[in-house]
């Protein structure tokens, strides 16, 4: 299994663990991917925190309904990308292992349950530049290698 690490772990700091699962969702031509913009303006891959009792796949399916209103067929697992960061919004340090998956196909089933995010499609390289987290950028780079982009 591939594991990548991003950010700097600060010695003597207590980190809050936040395990997350995220998806790379491309259009039919594999020329664009969808990103979610949080209310603070930061762009992320669709997905989020794994809740107690959930495995990766059930958490990802729930997150896709919440954020996009999509049901999806989950494909390849690209690996784990650990990220250490400080959230000025929450005034906390986080250790955020991100588990990254490809979505093979999706269907919009409903409006997103979370109505405070902005959703947009971007060309692959532009999406990478927009993404806030190194772990998310890494996931898209893994997807690009798989798809020879």
For domain 3-146, the CATH superfamily is Nucleoside Triphosphate Pyrophosphohydrolase (3.90.79.10)
Spell out the per-residue pLDDT of the chain, length 149, in tens.
Answer: 568 999 999 999 999 999 999 999 999 999 999 999 999 899 999 999 999 999 999 999 999 999 999 999 999 999 999 999 998 888 999 999 999 999 999 999 999 998 889 999 999 999 999 999 999 999 999 999 988 76
Q: Where are the domains of the chain?
A: 3-146
Rounded CA-CA distance 48/67 in Å is 9
H/E segment holding residue 108 = strand 92-108
Strand partners, 49: 20
Helices vs strands, H then E, count in the chain = 3, 9
**pTM of the predicted structure, to 2 decimals:** 0.92
């Amino acid at each position: 299994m591939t594991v990548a690490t991003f950010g700097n772990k600060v010695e003597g700091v207590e980190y809050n663990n936040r395990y997350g699962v995220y998806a790379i969702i491309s259009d039919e031509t594999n020329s664009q991917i969808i990103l979610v913009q949080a209310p603070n303006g930061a762009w992320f891959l669709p997905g989020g925190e794994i809740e107690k009792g959930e495995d990766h796949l059930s958490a990802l399916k729930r997150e896709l309904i919440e954020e996009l209103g999509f049901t999806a067929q989950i494909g390849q697992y690209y690996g784990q990308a650990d990220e250490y960061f400080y959230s000025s919004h929450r005034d906390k340090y986080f250790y955020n292992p991100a588990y990254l998956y490809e979505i093979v196909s999706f269907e919009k089933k409903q409006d997103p349950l979370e109505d405070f995010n902005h959703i947009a499609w971007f060309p692959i390289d532009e999406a990478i530049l927009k993404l806030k987290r190194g772990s998310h950028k890494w996931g898209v780079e893994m997807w690009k290698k798989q798809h020879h982009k």
